Structure 1
Amino acid sequence: MHTTNQSPIYLIAVGAFALGMASYVTAGLIPMIEASFTVSVAVAAQLVTAFTLAYGLGSPIFVALTPAHRQRTGLLLALGLFVIANAASALAETFTTLMVWRAIAGIGAGVYLAMGIGASTAVSSPERRGQSIAIIMGGMASGVVLGVPLSLLIADQMGWQAALWLVTLLGLVAFIGLILKLPALPAAAASSLAQKLAILGDGHVLIILLVSLLAAIASLGMYTFIAPLLADPAYGAVSSVTPYLWVWGIGGVLGSFLVGPLVDRIKGPVLTFIIMVILAASLLVLPLIAALGTWLVMLPIVLWGAVGWALQVPQNNELILARQAQGDGNLAIALNESALYLGSAIGAAAGGFVLLLQMPTWTLAACAGGVASLGALLQIVNLRRQQNWTCDVRAQLHN
């Protein structure tokens, strides 16, 4: 079903904005939550773990269990669950209750994003599919970059609960709008759970997921350690990393939105390869440029943020195209989200290990750049696969 009506896509993006806020705001609320429930920082930090684990592990399971003919209902239920869980989190009277509701919010968020991207492509014409995914990823990036600082300012004035009420309100606006504006979605091909698990045997999908995993290890892993690198006297001795995080985030918003028209013009695997090469280069030059000047280093940081966020637009588009016939594109996107969260966790752990070995801080950027380079090399396999596929199709047409 194709329509020129873009309003459902923008409404899905409003929900994605709320989701971006919810994913990252908890880290900033930890000191307030710690004081509110008299728990240690280490315990309060587990709220982030609960949300991300439930998001990364729970969402593919629930997407797989959603009936093929209930895509619209599944999307609305996931968003409804996300809204309720955030409201319940704000009302939580014990730390354990808060932890449970953060995990439930994580499941709702993961299922909503996967099904939202799937829905946006279902209501778009094929030539606007990449742009639709870009609008949603841009909404999520904006939630992280603009929404998180805004909600933390509100939380400073009105308490940590206020930040979660803001997430709830935005989610509710998207929910009501989608009930009114989202048309019926075409039913996906009905398949058993065993058939859905067959996605893990699709070599093309596995390479796409592996490239996403390596990109997340490099990009999100390095993001965790941007402060120790720039605090090093050899690389600027920066006292506050906040302006650099802002620059990274603004790059992310720009990259997410600007990549949309490119996805519809450049073949997906080619665009992903270009992005991975730029990501590797921007990470590898980070210490070199930081040594030259604290302002100059903002250039590779904005580029890194832009390509790091932009990557998921062609990746999600490729996954939908790869699994369109089998009708489990939403599951492929959910698995891609899991790859990103897993990559972020591996990147943070690996960076911690590098610091534990007391290696010079430039090795953080060198390792991240090396992992991104590995992703670019792996992407060549997808490029060759597509060339072979194109040759096969041409041969068949010729015969």
Structure 2
Amino acid sequence: MSNRSSQQLPIYLIALGAFALGMASYVTAGLIPMIESDFSVSVAIAAQLVTAFTLAYGLGSPIFVALTPPDRQRTGLLVALAVFVVANAASALAGDFNMLMLWRAVAGIGAGVYLAMGIGACAALSAADRRGKSIAIIMGGMASGVVLGVPLSLMIADQMGWQAALWLVTLLGLLAFVGLGLLLPTLPVAPSSSLRQKLAILTDGHVVTILLVSLLAAIASLGMYTFIAPLLADPNYGAVRSVTPYLWVWGIGGVLGSFLVGPVVDRVRGPVLVLAIMLILAASLFLLPAAASLDAWLAILPIVSWGAVGWALQVPQNNELIVARQAQGDGNLAIALNESALYLGSAIGAAAGGFILLLQMPTWSLAACAGTVALAGALLQVINIRRQPGWIPQAEPHH
């Protein structure tokens, strides 16, 4: 086996784990009706399983990543994956709703820590000029888990019960764990730093700006995703009966965007690429009601580009965070904080969309508000670019 292929194999195994993680993150929402009848709880209570997973993922993972010893990066990655696998198996075996809720939260922490450390491991295993492509493989794995894995596991759950979907997640996670246990080399030791030094990451203006752009992108993209059905069901915007084909198109766009952006990240300056992505995201969201009002099928064009750039964004963002914090040794923590920004943004976006509907504003205003938030992210990115003189060739300092 050549050296390059022996280095690539662990990256694909980490991506397999990310595929399982993508499934676990989004499949629970589809299982709610089955879980609700099985445990005799209301929809509102069953839906809290999603909240438990996402809150634990978003809030718990940065804490556990920060506590991982710098010389135990490989062990930390494997332990996080093991926790994720065990928690999904325990969820499938849970005979009591409160235990199921607890295990979904544990699975969320394992997932968040695994993804942050997995992206960090990929960066460590890749040459600088191939790092973007490696991160894209991981993010593409996660996107595929959402787009392909979730419908597949829901079909299995329909035939064999909701537990079957979680057993499939467990099996895929276990395969990734065994493969990584055998093939993942020892990872470079990160520079040692105290918890206080790690908290100083939040005083790094460059990092905070990157995280804010991710937050605004998630509010716009994932927030609007929650309300794609009410927009397209509106008689003025297609009167669509089933939104499923449009969700598939969004997801397929996401998988393509995640994978295709990798080689671009290694050629185009990250901050400039992020600006372009934010502008395309804003334009796609603004165009969505206009396209849908002409013809429901025309809406596919802005939806596919929105899905592609929404998912693609995290590849250059994670790459920039690794570059920004590599010397301090807390690149993994920066990535975990970025994941937290995405989950927080998704929650804010969903709440804001609900508020817009509560005010009985026209449905087009959902897309218009989402587009405006994406545009605010693009403006913030312009400030980010201008603040970094090294990124603009003519502005390099003279010695």
Q: Structures share a fold, TM > 0.5?
A: yes
Quote the offset at 1:168 in angstroms: 0.1
Distance in 1 of aligned mates of 2:166 and 2:127: 35
Identify the residue that residue 39 of structure 1 maps to in structure 2: 41
Per-residue CA shift, 1:127-179, capped at 9, x if unaligned?
10000000000000000000000000000000000000000000000000001
Q: Name the residue aligned to 2:375.
A: 373
> Who is 1:278 aligned against?
280
2:223 to 221, 224, 241: 221
Query: Whole-Å Cα distance in 2 between the matches of residues 283 and 340 of structure 1?
Result: 18
CA distance in 1, matches of 2:124, 2:383: 28
CA offsets 1:206-249 (integer angstroms, 9 cap, x no match)? 00000000000000000000000000000010000000000000
Give the deviation of 1:5 after TM superposition.
1.9
Match of 1:154 among 141, 153, 156: 156
Partner residue, 2:83: 81
- The one of 330, 334, 337 aligned to 1:335: 337
Q: How does 1:344-355 map to 2 (within 5 A)?
A: 344-355=346-357
Q: Is 1:173 aligned to 2:175, yes or no? A: yes
Report how far residue 391 of structure 1 moved: 6.5
Superposed displacement of residue 392, structure 1: 10
Q: 1:124 and 1:191, CA in 2 relative to 1: closer, same or farther beyond 3 A?
A: same
The code of the aligned residue for 2:57 comes to Y
- Aligned: 1:260 with 2:270: no
Q: Is the partner of 2:296 in helix, strand or coil?
A: coil
Instruction: Quote the residue 2:296 is aligned against.
Output: 294
User: Is the contact between residue 390 and residue 396 of structure 2 (CA under 8 Å) also seen in structure 1?
Assistant: no
1:12 counterpart residue number: 14
Secondary structure (helix, strand or coil) at the match of 2:297 reads coil
CA distance in structure 1 between the aligned counterparts of 2:169 and 2:46, rounded to whole angstroms: 20
CA RMSD of aligned residues (A): 1.4
C-alpha distance in structure 2 between counterparts of 1:3 and 1:30, whole Å = 41
- In structure 2, C-alpha distance between the alignment counterparts of 1:193 and 1:124, rounded to whole Å: 27
Runs of 4+ that moved beyond 4 A: 1-4, 388-394
Matches of 1:257 and 1:102, distance apart in 2: 29
Superimposed CA distance per residue, residues 12-41 of structure 1 (whole angstroms, 9 cap, x where no aligned partner)? 000000000000000000000001101110
| Residue 4 of structure 1, CA deviation | 6.3
Does 2:271 match 1:269?
Answer: yes
Give 1:295 deviation, angstroms.
0.9
Q: How does 1:129-208 map to 2 (within 5 A)?
A: 129-208=131-210
Q: Is the 8 A contact 2:389 2:395 kept in 1?
A: no
Normalising by structure 1, we get a TM-score of 0.98
Question: What's the secondary structure of 1:296's corresponding residue?
Answer: helix
Q: Provide the rounded CA distance (Å) in 2 between the counterparts of 1:272 and 1:386.
A: 14
Residue pair 2:88, 2:166 contacting (<8 A) in 1 also: yes
Q: Indicate the percent of aligned positions where both proteins have the same amino acid.
A: 80
The alignment of Structure 1 onto Structure 2 pairs a total of residues equal to 397
SS in 2 for 1:331: helix
- Distance in structure 2 (CA, Å) of the matches to 1:391 and 1:233: 51
The answer for the alignment partner of 1:63 in structure 2 is 65
Q: Structure 2: which 5+ residue stretches go unaligned? A: none
Whether contact under 8 Å (1:86, 1:167) holds in the other structure is: yes
* Preserved CA contact (<8 Å) 2:281 2:310: yes
C-alpha distance after superposition, 1:177-201 (max 9, x if no partner): 0011100000101000000000000
Matches within 5 A, 1:228-243: 228-243=230-245
What is the Cα deviation at residue 3 of structure 1?
8.3
Alignment deviations for residues 279-308 of structure 1 (CA, whole Å, 9 cap, x no partner): 000000100000010111100000000000
2:81 touches 2:173 (CA, 8 Å); kept in 1?
yes
Aligned to 2:362: 360
Q: CA deviation at 1:387?
A: 2.9
Q: Determine helix, strand or coil for the equivalent of 1:6.
A: helix
Mapped to 2, the partners of 1:195 and 1:186 lie a distance apart of 20
User: Is the 8 Å Cα contact of residues 385 and 391 (structure 2) preserved in structure 1?
Assistant: no
Which ranges in structure 1 are unaligned for 5 or more consecutive residues? none
Q: Aligned-pair distance for 1:394? A: 4.7
Report the equivalent of 1:95. 97
Query: Which amino acid in structure 1 is aligned with residue 331 of structure 2?
Result: G
Tell me the CA shift for residue 389 of structure 1: 6.1
The separation in 2 between residues aligned to 1:176 and 1:229, in whole angstroms, is 44
Per-residue deviation, residues 322-358 of structure 1 (Å, max 9, x unmatched): 0011000000000000000000000000000000000
